């Protein structure tokens, strides 16, 4: 059988031939690629040649190229277009991949060769990239157990195997629990307060499920968030809130409480085996923040500055709600009354803004921003294969017509797609000899789908989400370097959010909004008064939101700083961990739990790293102040950001890169000023 995953991709720029790939191709392809990688490892280990940078370090970089290509296709599908068969394959393949990684990093013979080259690093005449690759390779071995004895290496293999399985199961449970729930509404009067577009989407959802004449609301964000924000029916808000908050926390098939306990325990075991006090110490060895104490101090400092504003904001919302007939304000009432107060305070209405944010226009707008800043052009390519009909595909070129990247955009929710928004890549950038591979980058979101009468109209929050993910995409697209493991988004985890978060700033600027914010029916540009209101309301509840993000960061650190890795009860642990950041008037709701669906830290790569969102906000606020001083489309500033940040990936230390762009270390005051927390 011809396996399309193993044959050369005879497609546009070697893009993945999705239409040819079937589920049955993956296991044979993985097995072949793993076998090939093992052969390459064996050659490096047994070679009688004198160990050199080229025959050890560079060959290690490329020893599993085919496997990397197959893995990126498969695991991206497992996130964006999964099914039972793909999830089953993931459970079978992940332990094999974990085993291979350990075959490399625990191989004593190879490590001795790496070590001998590392010890000569100052005499080899390496350039900056080669030196960084050598340092990274040595560090990867040293930090992953290469110097352990055989017994401890065996234990580490078992721990890594369990972690790979548990993380997958956690994600599968969240997706299954999200998809399993639907709130069916039969009477239109129960939908009072909901915008017509939201009702129409719910009716369309019901029709798709064979329940025409009814309305279906789900736990997908485009359904959940508008209902919680606008529905006047408190009883139904409460029902939906509990359904969302109790996902994976109900003792049924998709319950994640034991999974959380085991993940925390096995991560702690791994850290201890590798000589660290806890998992946070291990993770932060390769972060800008450097230590758990530095992270906790950073978060506590933000908490101290945000708390007075947060408490005042909560008081304001509660007072407003009570003045307008509410007797109590519960968690399920928060979004509803906050939105009403925001609308009254700033005369701004997200629903009134949405007609100016037609998805296609916003996408063209972000393309134009990329063109003005970085001279990039985006050309639709209908000849690029894709994994779902909703996916849009583009070729990216620069002002000289040079091919820069392939770009995929996947915007709407569906059963096989996990929630949230993310950027990923199907291929990174690298140079081998005279041959360069340019990146294949994708952004995946969950925006409101078009209905029979309306196109996809975004909330302003969704506009900033699109810009955020596109910022990550630019980081991937503009990569320039020799080694894929050092280019694009292969940077310290607390630096990776800078390119994404800084781009959000452009959404608030008149110059940017003029490019795309036009009424989808009349073509009228967004009125200046609306822009003024967007800006004025941008710091609304900022103290509360900051405290909320800090609470998630501290919860993450609490789990991963445990000395023994033991969580007796997930609900109790979470409650205690979040108590310092809680606000009394909005207490914890029994029967709900965040940890069991906290995919960032238990499925994604943010374990002991959730703080990085706020960390990178300091960088992005400080960086954007320079753009504001020089002009938001100033070419010199944009070129400096491109050359020193976006194109350099992980080739140099992130603070070195940042200071080269900014001329100084970042200052937290810039973030506090933007957030309205510094008077």
Instruction: State the sign of the Cα–Cα–Cα–Cα dihedral 568, 574, 577, 583.
Output: negative
DSSP characters over 556-616: HHHHHT-SS---S-HHHHHHHHHGGG--GGGPPPTT--SGGG-HHHHTSS-TTTTTHHHHH
Query: What is the token pair recorded at 386?
Result: 């894709």
Query: What is the token pair recorded at 249?
Result: 């926390």
Taking CA 545 as the corner, what is the angle to CA 460 and CA 244, rounded to the nearest 5 degrees? 80
d(CA 163, CA 156): 10
- Report whether 336 contacts 609 (CB < 8 A): no
Please indicate whether residue 469 is annotated as part of the active site. Answer: yes
How far out from the chain centre does Cα 10 lie? 31
133: nearest Cα among 219, 223, 57: 57
d(CA 259, CA 256): 5
Taking CA 614 as the corner, what is the angle to CA 551 and CA 288, rounded to the nearest 5 degrees? 115
Instruction: State the sign of the Cα–Cα–Cα–Cα dihedral 379, 381, 386, 392.
Output: positive
d(CA 260, CA 585): 28
- Report whether 557 contacts 280 (CB < 8 A): yes
- Report whether 430 contacts 456 (CB < 8 A): no
CB burial of residue 679 (10 Å; 0-12, 13-18, 19+)? exposed
Instruction: State the sign of the Cα–Cα–Cα–Cα dihedral 100, 102, 108, 113.
Output: positive
Query: What is the token pair recorded at 24?
Result: 């049955």
Bridge-partner residues for 431, per DSSP? 436
- Cα separations (Å) of 641 from 32, 289, 372, 442, 483? 41, 22, 13, 22, 21
Query: What is the token pair recorded at 509?
Result: 């600027």
Bridge-partner residues for 216, per DSSP? 184
Q: Kindly give the pairing relationship between strand 377-380 and strand 392-397.
A: antiparallel
d(CA 81, CA 84): 11
Of 162, 469, 509, 542, the catalytic one is 469
- Cα separations (Å) of 124 from 118, 130, 431, 485, 636? 10, 10, 21, 21, 36
Name the DSSP class of 518.
B
Residue with tokens 């910022």: 471
- Report whether 23 contacts 85 (CB < 8 A): yes
Kindly list the catalytic residues.
469
């Amino acid at each position: 059988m011809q396996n399309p995953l193993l044959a050369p991709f005879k497609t546009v720029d070697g893009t993945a031939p999705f239409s040819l790939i079937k589920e049955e191709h993956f296991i044979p392809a993985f097995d072949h690629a793993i076998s090939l990688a093992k052969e390459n490892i064996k050659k490096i280990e047994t070679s009688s040649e004198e160990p050199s940078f080229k025959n050890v370090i560079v060959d290690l970089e490329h020893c599993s190229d085919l496997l990397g290509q197959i893995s990126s296709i498969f695991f991206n599908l497992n996130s964006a277009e999964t099914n039972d068969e793909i999830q089953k394959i993931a459970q079978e393949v992940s332990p094999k991949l974990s085993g291979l990684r350990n075959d490399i990093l625990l191989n004593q013979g190879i490590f001795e060769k790496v070590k001998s080259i590392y010890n000569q690093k100052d005499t080899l005449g390496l350039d900056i990239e080669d030196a960084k690759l050598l340092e990274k390779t040595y560090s990867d071995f040293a930090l992953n157990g290469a110097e352990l004895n055989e017994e401890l290496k065996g234990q580490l293999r078992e721990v890594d195997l369990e972690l790979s399985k548990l993380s997958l199961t956690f994600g599968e449970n969240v997706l299954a629990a999200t998809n399993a729930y639907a709130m069916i509404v039969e009477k239109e009067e129960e939908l009072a307060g909901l915008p017509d577009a939201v009702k129409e989407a719910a009716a369309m959802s019901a029709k798709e499920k064979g329940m025409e004449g009814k309305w279906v609301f789900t736990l997908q964000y485009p359904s959940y968030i508008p209902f919680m924000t606008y529905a006047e029916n408190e009883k139904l808000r409460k029902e939906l809130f509990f359904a969302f908050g109790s996902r994976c926390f109900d003792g049924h098939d998709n319950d994640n409480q034991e999974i959380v306990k085991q993940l925390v325990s096995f991560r702690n075991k791994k850290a201890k085996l590798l000589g660290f006090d806890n998992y946070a110490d291990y993770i932060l060895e390769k972060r800008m923040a450097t230590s758990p104490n530095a992270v906790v101090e950073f978060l506590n400092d933000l908490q101290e500055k945000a708390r007075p504003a947060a408490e005042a904001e909560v008081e304001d919302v509660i007072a407003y709600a009570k003045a307008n007939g509410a007797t109590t304000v519960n968690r399920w009432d928060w979004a509803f009354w906050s939105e009403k107060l925001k609308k009254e305070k700033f005369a701004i209405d997200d629903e009134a803004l949405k007609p100016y944010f037609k998805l296609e226009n916003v996408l063209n707008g972000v393309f134009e921003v990329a063109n003005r800043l970085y001279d990039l052009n985006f050309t639709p390519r209908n000849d690029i294969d894709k994994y779902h009909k909703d996916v849009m595909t583009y070729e990216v070129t620069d002002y000289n017509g040079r091919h820069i990247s392939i770009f995929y955009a996947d915007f709407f929710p569906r059963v096989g797609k996990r929630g949230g928004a993310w950027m990923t890549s199907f291929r990174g950038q690298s140079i081998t000899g005279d041959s360069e591979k340019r990146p294949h980058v994708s952004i995946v979101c969950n925006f409101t789908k078009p209905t029979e009468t309306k196109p996809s109209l975004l909330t302003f929050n969704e506009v900033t989400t699109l810009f955020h993910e596109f910022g990550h995409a630019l980081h991937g697209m503009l990569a320039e370097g020799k080694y894929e493991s050092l280019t694009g988004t292969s940077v310290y985890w607390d630096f990776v959010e800078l390119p994404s978060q800084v781009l959000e700033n452009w959404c608030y600027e008149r110059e940017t909004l003029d490019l795309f914010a036009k009424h989808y029916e009349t073509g009228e540009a967004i009125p200046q008064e609306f822009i003024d209101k967007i800006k004025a309301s941008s710091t609304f509840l900022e103290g509360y939101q900051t405290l909320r993000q800090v609470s998630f960061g501290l919860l993450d650190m609490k789990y991963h700083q445990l000395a023994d890795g033991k969580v007796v009860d997930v609900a109790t642990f979470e409650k205690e961990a979040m108590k310092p950041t809680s606000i009394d008037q909005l207490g914890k709701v029994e029967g709900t739990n965040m940890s069991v669906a906290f995919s960032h830290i238990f499925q994604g790569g943010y374990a002991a790293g959730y703080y990085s969102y706020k960390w990178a906000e300091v960088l992005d606020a400080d960086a954007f102040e320079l753009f504001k001083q020089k002009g938001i489309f100033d070419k010199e500033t944009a070129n400096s950001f491109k050359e020193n940040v976006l194109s350099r990936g992980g080739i140099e230390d992130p603070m070195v890169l940042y200071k080269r762009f900014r001329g100084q270390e970042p200052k937290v005051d810039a973030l506090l000023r933007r957030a309205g927390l510094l008077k």
